[in-house]
Amino acid sequence: MSTRTARTPRTEHRCAECGWTTPRWVGRCGQCQAWGSLVEASPLLAAAPRGAGAPAPASPVRAARRASEVVTGGRLERLATGLAEVDRVVGGGLVPGQVLLLAGEPGAGKSTLLLAVADAVAAAAGPGAVVLYVSAEESVEQIAVRARRTGARSEQLLLADDTDLGAVLGHVEQLAASSERLALLVVDSVQTVSSSEVEGRPGGVSQVMAVAGALTRLAKERGLPVCLVGQVTKETTVAGPRSLEHLVDTTLTLEGDRHTALRLLRAVKNRYGPADEVACFEQTDTGLREVPDPSALFRGTRDAPVPGTCTTVVVEGRRALLAEVQALVATTQAPVPRRAVSGLDTARTAMLTAVTEKHTGVRLHASELYVASAAGMRLSDPGADLAVCLAIASAARDRALPADVAALGEVALSGDVRAVPLLQARAAEAVRLGHTRLLVPPGAADLVDGRTRRAARLEVVASLGEAVRAVLDG
């Protein structure tokens, strides 16, 4: 007589920070290395024999339809946010049912930006429509103080302060039962709202996923755009499980050095628009101000050129931005000269320093070297390589580059200057801002239109040595 072995539950411990699981409790997470973050999860049934325990088939809520028969209504109807730069990043406005996650470091301006969006949408929503802004981090009075400071005064903007998910959903149900139509929901933030029906602390994996999942279902069922504020870790990644970014439709990051007023709104993921777009804002006493011409923030203003500076054009997303690279070379008696970099990749700058010393004849082994970008801009585009090398060579020779020169090109270890993407957009932006002498890689003439070639002189440089001879030895 055969007996069937009973399936026994087994205990599992899950990290509240990253979701890593282990059968036994340990003091430190094996994935994110957080201490004391493991909690006992719900018991799981041991693996059953193959073919046993399969779920019974259930009737689908909605029958599957042919793709050709699904009526989409043509062009997507979008809700304008009232801020042209935000609309451009998200693809022209918010789509009904879209869930947007805005992440950024503390103090970057996430709440200020979404409060401005909420006020603009409320002002343009029309009669009978309202916007609900729910904060789990600030009281209504604190939000009102910021609203007065930033000029958010729409009568259709409703404020609430709740940390419970049920209360947030209750606000939505109350508005649905009234004569007012909810046009937009903003929740600040997804890591501080919690559900009483889910175990775990607020901000933990289970709570974040439960809150985000409930708000996503709400958005899809009601066709309601929902904006969520997300916190970031010290590595500037979105706090919480990676699946949070998969759950939402759009992920935006608000970046910027806290010592500068520049803020970059960058699309990381976007199901309804471009995923590589960038918008620029300037942080002021009255909130975030849109900067339609951000190149003005990145270029230095001076009456005459100085040694150690070189202008270039980088591409952020689809936008060409003028940038200035600055270098300073100083003699020192220290046995190990200091190297400091700000706004650029340290490893790539060290490589470009070695290339400059090898192919231009400058000697930097006994000198301190400081390289930075103007206005705190972060330069990761290889198209700025030539400008970095020329700025270092200019500083080492104490000789300024001509003011009308802009350098466009990537520099290889061999000293060759290579082509970069979107060269036409880079050249056009440099010409628009008054640079009439462009150092470009071979083959650039075929990539630049006739109008730009007539407005500026394109000097083809095949190597870093040629570029130095063209602007520093002439």
| Alpha helix segments (H runs only) across 276-338 | 295-298
How many other CB atoms sit within 10 Å of the CB of residue 334?
Answer: 8
Tens digits of residue pLDDT in 169-218: 999 999 999 989 999 999 999 999 999 998 878 888 888 999 999 999 99
Residues 6+ positions from 307 with CB-CB distance below 8 Å: 394, 395, 397, 398, 399, 400
* Beta strands, E only, 378-461: 405-407, 410-411, 417-418, 437-440, 457-460
The one-letter amino acid code at 276 reads: D
pLDDT class for 166, splitting at 50, 70, 90? Answer: very high
pLDDT class for 55, splitting at 50, 70, 90? Answer: low
| Integer Cα distance of 105 and 231 in angstroms | 7
| Alpha helix segments (H runs only) across 159-242 | 165-177, 205-222
pLDDT above 60 (res 241): yes
The one-letter amino acid code at 213 reads: G
The one-letter amino acid code at 354 reads: A
How many other CB atoms sit within 10 Å of the CB of residue 74?
Answer: 6
Residues 275, 267 contacting (CB under 8 angstroms) = yes
Tens digits of residue pLDDT in 130-147: 999 999 999 999 999 999
pLDDT above 50 (res 1): no
Residues 150, 112 contacting (CB under 8 angstroms) = yes
| Integer Cα distance of 374 and 381 in angstroms | 15
| Integer Cα distance of 293 and 299 in angstroms | 11
pLDDT above 70 (res 337): yes
pLDDT class for 249, splitting at 50, 70, 90? Answer: very high
> What percent of the chain has pLDDT above 70?
89
pLDDT class for 31, splitting at 50, 70, 90? Answer: confident
pLDDT above 70 (res 300): no
| Integer Cα distance of 250 and 227 in angstroms | 9
DSSP string, 96-135: TT-EEEEEE-TTSSHHHHHHHHHHHHHHHS-TTEEEEEEE
Q: Is 294 exposed, middle or buried (0-12, 13-18, 19+ CB in 10 A)?
A: buried
Q: Is 25 exposed, middle or buried (0-12, 13-18, 19+ CB in 10 A)?
A: exposed
Give the model's pLDDT for residue 45: 42
Mean pLDDT, the chain, integer: 88
Least confident segment among 22-31, 115-124, 292-301: 292-301
pLDDT above 90 (res 288): yes
Helix count (H) and strand count (E) of the chain? Answer: 12, 23
| Integer Cα distance of 79 and 121 in angstroms | 8
Q: Is 370 exposed, middle or buried (0-12, 13-18, 19+ CB in 10 A)?
A: middle
pLDDT above 90 (res 240): no
User: What average pLDDT does the segment 38-47 reach?
Assistant: 58
pLDDT class for 46, splitting at 50, 70, 90? Answer: very low
Tens digits of residue pLDDT in 390-400: 999 999 999 99
pLDDT class for 30, splitting at 50, 70, 90? Answer: confident
User: What average pLDDT does the segment 355-364 reach?
Assistant: 94
User: What average pLDDT does the segment 250-257 reach?
Assistant: 90
3-class secondary structure, 36:
coil
pLDDT above 80 (res 222): yes
DSSP 444: G
The one-letter amino acid code at 142 reads: Q
User: What average pLDDT does the segment 8-32 reach?
Assistant: 79
pLDDT above 70 (res 61): no
| Integer Cα distance of 338 and 403 in angstroms | 29
Phi, psi angles (nearest 5°) of residue 392: -65, -45
Tens digits of residue pLDDT in 415-474: 999 999 999 999 999 999 999 999 999 998 888 998 999 999 999 999 999 999 999 986
| Integer Cα distance of 408 and 390 in angstroms | 11
Report which of residues 356 and 46 the model is more confident about.
356
